[in-house]
Amino acid sequence: DAGVTQSPTHLIKTRGQQVTLRCSPKSGHDTVSWYQQALGQGPQFIFQYYEEEERQRGNFPDRFSGHQFPNYSSELNVNALLLGDSALYLCASSLSLSGLNTEAFFGQGTRLTVV
């Protein structure tokens, strides 16, 4: 059973560019959440997708956007990259059962470096 897979694993971008990160959830999971982990910090919630809709959003600017596809996979898009966007981006999947969520399983992350 494949767990949560993310691509690419590493990425280097220039300030002002745009980036797209991808995530395939664990088999059977229907909910995808994205987190940003800066160096020395814990992961911070960006947003969550369920039924192809953004269900909840953390304190991140509109430059951060996402999408969920019918097969439950998801993309995270970041526009107008800033140096401060350099971080490990983690995708987590879970199963929504009657409005309650199971424990989240994380992918290995995408290390984004903005230069």
Partner 1 sequence: DQQVKQNSPSLSVQEGRISILNCDYTNSMFDYFLWYKKYPAEGPTFLISISSIKDKNEDGRFTVFLNKSAKHLSLHIVPSQPGDSAVYFCAASLYGGATNKLIFGTGTLLAVQP
Q: Residue 66 or residue 109: which is nearer to partner 1 going by CB?
A: 109
Contacts with partner 1 by CB under 8 A: the residue count is 30
Stretch that binds partner 1, among 12-20, 68-76, 79-87, 97-105 (CB under 8 A): 97-105
Asked if 20 and 76 count as a contact pair (C-beta separation under 8 A), the reply is yes
Phi/psi of residue 44, nearest 5 degrees: -115, 135
How would you class 68 by CB atoms within 10 Å of its CB: exposed for 0-12, middle for 13-18, buried for 19 or more? buried
Separation of alpha carbons 44 and 46, rounded Å? 6
Name residue 112's amino acid: L
Q: Residue 19 or residue 104: which is nearer to partner 1 going by CB?
A: 104
Site residues for partner 1, 46-75, by CB under 8 A, read: 48, 50, 55-56, 58
Q: Residue 73 or residue 96: which is nearer to partner 1 going by CB?
A: 96
Q: Residue 47 or residue 85: which is nearer to partner 1 going by CB?
A: 47
Site residues for partner 1, 13-32, by CB under 8 A, read: 31
DSSP string for residues in 2-71? ---EEE-SEEEE-TT--EEEEEEPPTT--EEEEEEE-TTS--EEEEEEETTEEEEE-S--TTEEEEE-TT
Among 1, 2, 14, 42, binds partner 1 (CB under 8 A): 42
Judged by the rule CB under 8 A, the positions of this chain that interact with partner 1 are 4, 6, 31, 33, 35, 40-45, 48, 50, 55-56, 58, 90, 92, 94, 96, 99-101, 103-109
